Structure 1
Amino acid sequence: SRKCRYRVSTLCRGVGLDLNVRDEKIVPGAIGICRVKNPKADIALDISANDGLGIFADNQFDYLFDSHQLGDFTCTEAILKEWWRVIKPGGFLILYEQDKDYYPLVDTPGADPLRRKDLFWEDAWSVLEAVGNAELFSKSRHNDSNEYSWQLVARKKFAATTNPIEELKDGNTDGMVCFPRVKKADKEALVIRYGALGDTLWVTPVLSQLKKDGYFVVMNTTTKGAEVLKHNPNIDEFIIHTRHEDIPYDELEYYWNMMGRHFERVVNLTKSCEGHLIKVEGSRESRWSKEMRHAECNYNFQDRQMELAGYPDIKGCIPELHFSEIEEALADTFVNAHKEKFTIVWSLSGSGFHKTYPWAEYIAGEIMQQFNDIEIITVGDDSCKLLEWQNPQTINKCGVYTIRQSFLLTKYADLVIGADTGLLNAASCFDTPKIVFLSTNTVENL
């Protein structure tokens, strides 16, 4: 699994099966199956029969992964049809199997004693193609770095009557990419950024500059990062990870290096600021003297991003947010409904414990007591509901508004207040007045 994980992990979303768990699953969230009892697997199940997955109903899983097991079964056609049966329309069958050109043939020295058939990827594809609802998503052969396998990815087609609108859109917007990836342009740049919401916004001037330099820009990020960057015209393609743990932390460098081989330029900005310029309370560096912290860390986050991306002479960039016409129309409706009030959007917390201002309720109470025409909208995730207060002049929207709805409000509010969170970074995209409660960051950083 580890050998091919970087190539297929973005396809392993939702609920899926790993049919041959040994030392580890293809991704931690997969339901692991093994033909014998294995503490790494979730289910011990003999799947060698033609109805080996009979405990599962049709169209149950978003993906099904098998590694070096298909050749153990004598009836390839029946086995593949059974595996295909349990995959949802739009889901993936991912096969990573021994290539008979690179691996000892059946009953020869060095061959797996359980193996019954020597297969090429074409043998598997011919079965799936005959079923009639399979799309060839990716195929490749691998004979380096201790690999001796072929890789085949097939996607189950939607019926014509149920084909969702998303399937009709041009380009790749879902972030599910399989490597080796088909190049879209002669000059491609891969930008990598995992992190919190504000961290993702800092990348946007880099994307703009790469696009000006003529690159086809591919963005590798998380689901939340993609939500922040949605509708950004400087991104041509996404590679999205839905779960941080899909690629183990100790494999990230390898993963990034393997991905980067397919691009003319790679800009990796993960932990570019929070790993070097931010010294969170509790860390050893947080006990440095103020003078030492400032000497080491007092750099503007946005300028540092540009420097690391290869643009050291470009200073003072402003991050960018882009919204659809529908989003703007809904925001306009909201603004018109509240135009008689001075509207304050208040961010109650951010991604870390140090981004919660403990006296927010008391300060808000004083403000509302002094000014009757003020209206405060509290925003944040579900956990921020614990920090909300009840007042006729306050509209509680923590856990109600989406990330993008909250970000869009910062464009139209009269004032934005909060710690140095993603929401305040969003407000920095616009001329909206803002009050920032500094935590670990300095004025120079922001």
Structure 2
Amino acid sequence: MGHEAAKTNRLRDETFKAKYFSGHVLDIGCGTDPVVPAAMPFDLEQGDANRILDYLAPDSFDCVHSSHCLEHMHNAQAALMQWWALVKPGGFLVLVVPDEDLYEQGHWPSLFNPDHKATFRLDKPSSWSPVSHDLGQLVGALPGCETVEIDRQDRGYDHSYLHLPRNRMMRHWQKALRWCFRKWNKDLYRPGPRPRWTGPWLVRFNRWLEVPIDQTRGPAVAQIQVILRKKSAD
């Protein structure tokens, strides 16, 4: 989570940070690397983010930020409702989650992070994932919510990774080799940076086999960011 949060923060300029990350800021799931130095961290050491209202009072923060944490919650909708309750009227919630098509790539359970309990999509009526949430609909259900911005972020992501289908015989061989290679090449599916020995030849071989790889282990991002404002009481 920290790796992705740091990459996301590099996409934000100082104007963005000054606008949204000022005042009393809470960063959920940040580990030891909060989104801005003054932000209050909330991670496993501080408690259970699924039940964050057991630890923190409602209407306490000018901004609540969370990057790549909501997908780990047991009930994403219920957890998000509690996080939203922490935001003061007039304050902001800045949320980043993986995009299911760019990150999970049609596979569930997740190939790249077995702790994921939910996937997220944007502007798709349906999904291949049995645990998918439309992020627009999810945040739209929050009381007093105004969506400032919601967008898919894919900087550095290679959308041409998969090749076009080959002839039937080639695809049979491909399928068999893909199964063997995925069983052997476990390093491609472990969290963290890709091991040094996995050079460009391995990426090209995976591409030929149509084996999914986690592009976010490099500089790419594969996520959705939403910025919400809590309307002030009249």
TM-score range, shorter chain: 0.5 to 0.7
- Which of 28, 31, 47 pairs up with 1:45? 47
Listed one character per residue, the Cα deviations across residues 125-147 of structure 1 (whole Å, up to 9, x for unaligned) are 32332233110111111112310
Question: Superposed, which structure 2 residues align to 1:234-245 within 5 Å?
Answer: none
Listed one character per residue, the Cα deviations across residues 182-228 of structure 1 (whole Å, up to 9, x for unaligned) are xxxxxxxxxxxxxxxxxxxxxxxxxxxxxxxxxxxxxxxxxxxxxxx
User: Do the aligned residues in 2 keep the contact of 1:98 with 1:150 (CA within 8 Å)?
Assistant: yes
Question: Which position in structure 2 is the counterpart of 1:93?
Answer: 93
Listed one character per residue, the Cα deviations across residues 360-411 of structure 1 (whole Å, up to 9, x for unaligned) are xxxxxxxxxxxxxxxxxxxxxxxxxxxxxxxxxxxxxxxxxxxxxxxxxxxx
- Which of 4, 15, 18 pairs up with 2:8? 4
Listed one character per residue, the Cα deviations across residues 101-153 of structure 1 (whole Å, up to 9, x for unaligned) are 110244243x2121011112562332332233110111111112310111001
Q: CA deviation at 1:3?
A: 2.1
Residue 52 of structure 1: SS of its match in structure 2? helix
Q: Which AA in structure 2 matches 1:63?
A: C
Matched, 1:138 2:149: yes
Question: Superposed, which structure 2 residues align to 1:350-361 within 5 Å?
Answer: none
Compared CA separation, residues 132 and 33, structure 1 to 2 (3 A): closer
User: Do the aligned residues in 2 keep the contact of 1:9 with 1:26 (CA within 8 Å)?
Assistant: no
Matched, 1:66 2:66: yes
CA distance in 1, matches of 2:40, 2:108: 30
Q: Which AA in structure 1 matches 2:121?
A: F
The aligned length equals 150
- Which of 29, 37, 49 pairs up with 2:38? 29
Q: CA deviation at 1:15?
A: 0.6
Question: Which position in structure 1 is the counterpart of 2:117?
Answer: 116
Identity among equivalent pairs (%): 26
Compared CA separation, residues 117 and 25, structure 1 to 2 (3 A): same
CA distance in 1, matches of 2:95, 2:58: 19
Q: CA deviation at 1:31?
A: 0.2
Q: CA deviation at 1:23?
A: 5.2
TM-score, length basis structure 1: 0.32
Question: Which position in structure 1 is the counterpart of 2:182?
Answer: none
CA distance in 1, matches of 2:145, 2:25: 18
Q: CA deviation at 1:9?
A: 1.7
User: Do the aligned residues in 2 keep the contact of 1:140 with 1:152 (CA within 8 Å)?
Assistant: yes
Residue 41 of structure 2: SS of its match in structure 1? strand
Q: Which AA in structure 1 matches 2:70?
A: L
Question: Which position in structure 1 is the counterpart of 2:233?
Answer: 159
Compared CA separation, residues 94 and 113, structure 1 to 2 (3 A): same
Q: Runs of 5+ in structure 2 lacking a partner?
A: 124-133, 157-219
User: Do the aligned residues in 2 keep the contact of 1:64 with 1:87 (CA within 8 Å)?
Assistant: yes
Residue 66 of structure 2: SS of its match in structure 1? strand
CA distance in 1, matches of 2:74, 2:47: 18
TM-score, length basis structure 2: 0.59
Q: Runs of 5+ in structure 1 lacking a partner?
A: 38-43, 161-446
Q: CA deviation at 1:20?
A: 1.0
Q: CA deviation at 1:14?
A: 0.5
Question: Which position in structure 2 is the counterpart of 1:422?
Answer: none
Question: Which position in structure 2 is the counterpart of 1:128?
Answer: 139
Greater Cα shift, 18-27 or 133-142: 18-27
